[in-house]
Amino acid sequence: MPQRRHVAAVIAIFLLVDEACTKAPPPAPARTVAPLDRVGSSPVGTTQTVLQKTFNLKSSATFAFEIPAHAAQPHLHGIFQSFVGQIHGESDDSANIDFAILNEEQKNESAGGRPSDAVFSVEASHNQAINVDLPPSLNEPVRYYLVFRNSDRAKSGGKVVETSFRVDF
C-alpha cells in the first residue's frame, strides 16, 4: 500500500504541475508610450522636390510643403530668379521680389494682418540661392510655406518667377 500512496502522490504532483503550466499568465498591465519614445521610419538620406515651377507673380504666391516626421536635419536648398514681363526677360533690380519661408504659426499670423517673423527671408532680390537648415520634425510632420511677393507691383506690373527647391533629410 505504501507504494500505491507514493504513486498516487506522484500522479497528484504531475496533475498540479500540468494544471499550473496550462493556465495563462495574467495579462501585463497596459503601458502608455510617450510620443517621443516611439520609433518610426526615418526619411534620413532622402531628397524631396518642394517646388520646381515657373509662374506669374502679380502680388503674391504661396506654396506649401511638408517635412515628414522623424526628419533630424532637414535642409532646404534651391534657387529662384525673377523676370519682368516674361521668362528670361529683363532680370535686374526692376524684377526684384521678396521671398520668405514661414512655418504654420507665422503663416497664420501673416494672414491675420499681424506682423510676423519668418524662418528665413530675403527682400528685394531677383536672383537668389537659398540654403536653410530647418528644425527637426520629431514625431509629427511639419508644414512650411514658400512665399513670393511682388513688392513694387505698381511700378513694374507682373513678374515671372522661375524656381527650383528641394529638401534633403
Length of the chain: 169
Q: Each residue of 112-124: pLDDT tens digit? A: 666 679 999 999 9
List the chain domain ranges.
2-35, 40-168
CB-based contact 89:156 (threshold 8 Å):
no
pTM of the model: 0.71
- Flag whether pLDDT at 33 surpasses 70: no
pLDDT range class, residue 74, cuts 50, 70, 90: very high
- Average predicted confidence (pLDDT) for the chain: 83
Q: Which residue is it, cell 536648398?
A: 77
40-168 is classed in which CATH architecture? Sandwich (2.60)
| Dihedral over alpha carbons 122, 49, 89, 92 (to 10 degrees) | 20
| Per-residue pLDDT at 23 | 60
- Give the mean pLDDT of 73-98: 92
Q: How far apart are CA 50 and CA 168, in angstroms?
A: 10
| Per-residue pLDDT at 102 | 96
